[in-house]
C-alpha cells in the first residue's frame, strides 16, 4: 500500500511570494495534519483536517491556510513568505481524528531566500 | 516548562547495549504517546505507540508509560548502528480532543560499533 505522498519534494521561493504544498493520505485515512519542522527541533502542529473540516489550528499566523478535498487529499498554503518560513513541512495521515497513530509523508523542504 | 521534554542528548551507546530514552510531559490529561525515529534529512517514522500505563514491547523496542509520574520511555535492546537517529517523543495532550501531536525536541542517539 502506498504511504503518505507529498509534493513537491523541494521548493525555493523568494520573500513575499506564495506557496502551495500538497499531500495525499494513506488510502482509507480520513484525517490529515500539517506540521512545520525547523532544524534541530521537533515538528510543530499547524492544522488538522478531518472529513474536510478544520478540527484544529496551531499557533501560526493567518498567512497559513489549508483545506481538505473530498478525496481526503490536502493543500497547505502560505502567503507573504518570510525567511523564517524556511523549514520542512510535514503532512501526517491518520484514520480519523483523535489520538490515533499519525504517519508522516516524506515532507516538503521549503527554502525562502 | 515545556509541554513535552526529552532527556538531553546526544546519547552514545556501544553496539549490542540497551539504549534508554526518556520523556516527560506536563499535562496530566494526556492520553496517547508515540515514539518516532527520524534519520537525518528524512521525515519521522512511527515506531511505537502507547496508550495505557505499563510496558509495550515490539521486537527490540519497549515503550513504558507511567501516567502518575508523567513520563514515557523507550528502551532499545541490542542496539545496532542502524538505530543511530533522532528519536522524537510525542503526545496528544489533554484538551485537544482532535489529537494534535506535541513533540519534544528530540534525542540524538549514536550507536557505535
Report the pLDDT averaged over residues B3-7: 90
Share of chain B above pLDDT 90, in %: 81
**Can you give the pLDDT at residue B96?**
63
Partner residue facing B100 (CB), from A45, A101, A106: A45
The C-alpha R_g of chain A, in whole angstroms, comes to 13
Residue B112, helix vs strand vs coil: strand
Report chain A residues whose CB lies below 8 A from the CB of B32: 99-100
The rounded distance, in Å, linking the Cα atoms of B74 and A53 is: 34
Residue B7 has a pLDDT of: 81
Of residues B99, B102, B106, nearest to A100 (C-beta) = B99
Least confident of A62-71, B28-37, B87-96: B87-96
- C-alpha B92/C-alpha A31 separation (Å) is 15
* Mean of pLDDT values over B86-107: 87
Q: What is the mean pLDDT of residues B78-93?
A: 96
Q: How confident is residue A54, by pLDDT bands cut at 50, 70 and 90? A: very high
Q: Among A19-28, B27-36, B57-66, name the one with the lowest average pLDDT.
A: B27-36
Q: For residues A78 and A81, give the distance between their C-alpha atoms in angstroms, rounded to a whole number.
A: 7
Contacts of A94 in chain B (CB under 8 A): 99
Beta carbon pairs, A and B, within 8 Å? 69
Taking residues A63-77, what's their average pLDDT?
Answer: 97
| CA distance linking residue A18 with residue A82, whole number of Å | 10
What is the arithmetic mean of pLDDT over B43-58? 96
pLDDT of residue A1: 63
Lowest mean pLDDT among A55-69, B16-30, B47-61, B87-101: B87-101
- Alpha carbon of B14: minimum distance to chain A alpha carbons (Å): 24
Q: How confident is the model at residue A90 (pLDDT cuts 50, 70, 90)?
A: very high
What own/partner pairs with CB < 8 Å and gap ≥ 24 does A79-86 have?
A: A79/A18, A80/A16, A80/A18, A81/A13, A81/A14, A81/A15, A81/A16, A81/A17, A81/A18, A81/A19, A81/A112, A82/A15, A82/A112, A83/A15, A83/A112, A83/A113, A84/A112, A85/A110, A85/A112, A86/A38, A86/A110, A86/A111, A86/A112
- Residue A70, chain B, CB below 8 Å: the answer is no
Interatomic CA distance for residues A28 and A4, integer angstroms: 11
Instruction: Write down the number of H helices and E strands in chain A.
Output: 0, 11
CA distance B41 to chain A (A): 9
What is the model's pLDDT at position B95? 61
Q: Quick check: A6 pLDDT over 90?
A: yes
pLDDT score recorded for residue B97: 67
Separation CA A58–CA A75 (nearest Å): 16
Alpha carbon separation from B103 to A83, B34, B49 (Å, rounded): 23, 9, 14
Residues of chain B with Cβ-Cβ distance to A68 below 8 Å are none
Contacts of B90 in chain A (CB under 8 A): 42
**Residue A92 has what pLDDT?**
97
Say if residue B50's pLDDT is above 70.
Answer: yes
Determine the pLDDT at residue B86: 97
Contact call for B103 and A105, based on CB within 8 A: no
- Answer whether B97 touches A (CB < 8 Å): yes
Grid cell at residue A36: 512545520
Amino acid at each position: 500500500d502506498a504511504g503518505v505522498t507529498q509534493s513537491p519534494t523541494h521548493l525555493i521561493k523568494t520573500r513575499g511570494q506564495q506557496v502551495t504544498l500538497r499531500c495525499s493520505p494513506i488510502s482509507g485515512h480520513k484525517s490529515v495534519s500539517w506540521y512545520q519542522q525547523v532544524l534541530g527541533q521537533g515538528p510543530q502542529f499547524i492544522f488538522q483536517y478531518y472529513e474536510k473540516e478544520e478540527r484544529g489550528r496551531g499557533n501560526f499566523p493567518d498567512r497559513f491556510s489549508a483545506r481538505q478535498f473530498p478525496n481526503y487529499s490536502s493543500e497547505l498554503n502560505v502567503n507573504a513568505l518570510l525567511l523564517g518560513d524556511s523549514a520542512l513541512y510535514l503532512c501526517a495521515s491518520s484514520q480519523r481524528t483523535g489520538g490515533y497513530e499519525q504517519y508522516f509523508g516524506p515532507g516538503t523542504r521549503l527554502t525562502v531566500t | 516548562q515545556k509541554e513535552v521534554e526529552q532527556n538531553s542528548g546526544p546519547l552514545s551507546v556501544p553496539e549490542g547495549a540497551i539504549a534508554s530514552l526518556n520523556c516527560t510531559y506536563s499535562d496530566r490529561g494526556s492520553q496517547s504517546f508515540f515514539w518516532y525515529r527520524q534519520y537525518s534529512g528524512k521525515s519521522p517514522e512511527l515506531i511505537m505507540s502507547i496508550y495505557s500505563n505499563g510496558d509495550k514491547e515490539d521486537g527490540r523496542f519497549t515503550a513504558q508509560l507511567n501516567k502518575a509520574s508523567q513520563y514515557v520511555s523507550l528502551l532499545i535492546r541490542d542496539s545496532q548502528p542502524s538505530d543511530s537517529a533522532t528519536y522524537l517523543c510525542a503526545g496528544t495532550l489533554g484538551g485537544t480532543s482532535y489529537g494534535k501531536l506535541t513533540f519534544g525536541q528530540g534525542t540524538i542517539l549514536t550507536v557505535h560499533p
